[in-house]
Amino acid sequence: MNFAEFQTWREQSLHAAPGLLDCGETNLYRALASLQLRPEESPVSGPVHRCDLARAWLARYGFPVDHSRRALVCRGVRHALSLIFRELAMGDATLWLPGDVYPVYGELARAAGLEPREFPTLPAPELPASAPEDRTEYLLVANPWKPLGRFLTDVECAALVAWLAASPHRHLLIDAVYDLGAPFHATTLELQQTGRAILLHSVTKGWLWPRSFGVALIGEDHMPFAASFRDEPPTPDQLRLAQILLSTGADCPRRVSDALQCRAQALVARLPNAVSSACLIDPADLAPGCYLFPVRIPAEMLLREYRLLAIPASAFGAKDWDGSILTSLSPAFAP
């Protein structure tokens, strides 16, 4: 079932059997609403400039602040991808997307006029191994992987570096929105330092403010994208919000991560042994703040035999893996 079908199935299941343990909540903002900083609590007077926000973001994540012309300000990762995909479509580029990470990737690509090629990440990433093409190629990865829940391994990182090295026409897009730490994970930094990767980040997860502010950190080869970002900036209110989040709310990602760690522990503690042993990733290897937990058991079986309501992997776009994803966002796992 796709995501819309899953939502209907979830509501029907919870209504028919109120005693189910709900491991299918996906709304992070509803689950952690109490942690969201309200802009009226820290008002900002006067205009806020994109260049100042770019430097604040660079400083927070340990990049040189004199790279601000390469830190393209946007309204979030979705917005950045829509702008980038539009340029790739006009340039007749090839786009590789993970087919079971985030269905919105494909929706944005097709809306821009691209027909992306896909590779699976569940139960383990299978990165493309095709020969280089004569035209531009972009490959998107999420670090950490969603819904796998872990960061790229050193082997996967090396494979991506080798993929880049095979052709000067190859580039990476790195969605780091689920990385709640600062600086970013070592594998993200290694790929970014190749100069052939665009690093995408926003305040969506760490600050719980979706579709408001983000940054695309580009390499020198990607400067042609800058015009599109300049032409579609965040609104003045969004810029003021970003200033508040990056200053007054600087500690919010840590608090979000801590809250999610508590929920993850509560979820793991309530899983039957048979389900715990079927988890793809050991809890110790999950990214801090992870709230998605893939298991090798179909959702229908979890519901029938363990009274756990989980998300079928197909809702994320998986085609050849019939496992499921547990989440720790329902009130049952709140402190």
Q: What is the DSSP string of 188-209?
A: HHHHHTTS-EEEEEESTTTSS-
- DSSP E strands, 43-119: 71-74, 94-98, 117-119
Looking at the structure, do residues 135 and 220 belong to the same domain, yes or no? yes
Q: For the residues 114-127, what does the mean pLDDT come to?
A: 97
On whether both 47 and 189 belong to a single domain, the answer is: yes
Last residue of a domain, one of 193, 228, 246: 246
pLDDT for residue 219? 96
Q: Predicted confidence band at 40 (pLDDT cuts at 50, 70, 90)?
A: confident
What percentage of the chain carries pLDDT values higher than 70? 100
Over residues 135-155, the pLDDT tens digits come to 999 999 999 999 999 999 999
> In 121-235, which ranges are continuous DSSP H helix?
154-165, 186-192, 226-231
**Statement to judge: residues 162 and 120 lie in one domain:** yes
pTM: 0.96
- Max alpha carbon distance in the chain (Å)? 59
Query: How far is Cα 246 from Cα 13, in angstroms, rounded to an integer?
Result: 41
| CATH code at position 258 | 3.90.1150.10
Kindly indicate the confidence band of residue 80, based on its pLDDT and cuts at 50, 70 and 90: very high
Tell which of 229, 246, 263 closes a domain.
246
* Whether 233 and 267 share a structural domain: no
The predicted structure's pLDDT at residue 259: 98
The rounded mean pLDDT for the chain is 96
Both 7 and 80 in one domain: the answer is: no
Domain hosting 82: range is 41-246
In this prediction, residue 43 has a pLDDT band, given cuts at 50, 70 and 90, of confident
Shared-domain flag, residues 160 and 285: no
Same domain, 256 and 242: no
Q: Which residue, of 204, 226, 246, is where some domain finishes?
A: 246
User: Quick one: which H or E segment has residue 271?
Assistant: none
42, pLDDT greater than 80? no
Q: pLDDT grade, residue 161 (50/70/90)?
A: very high
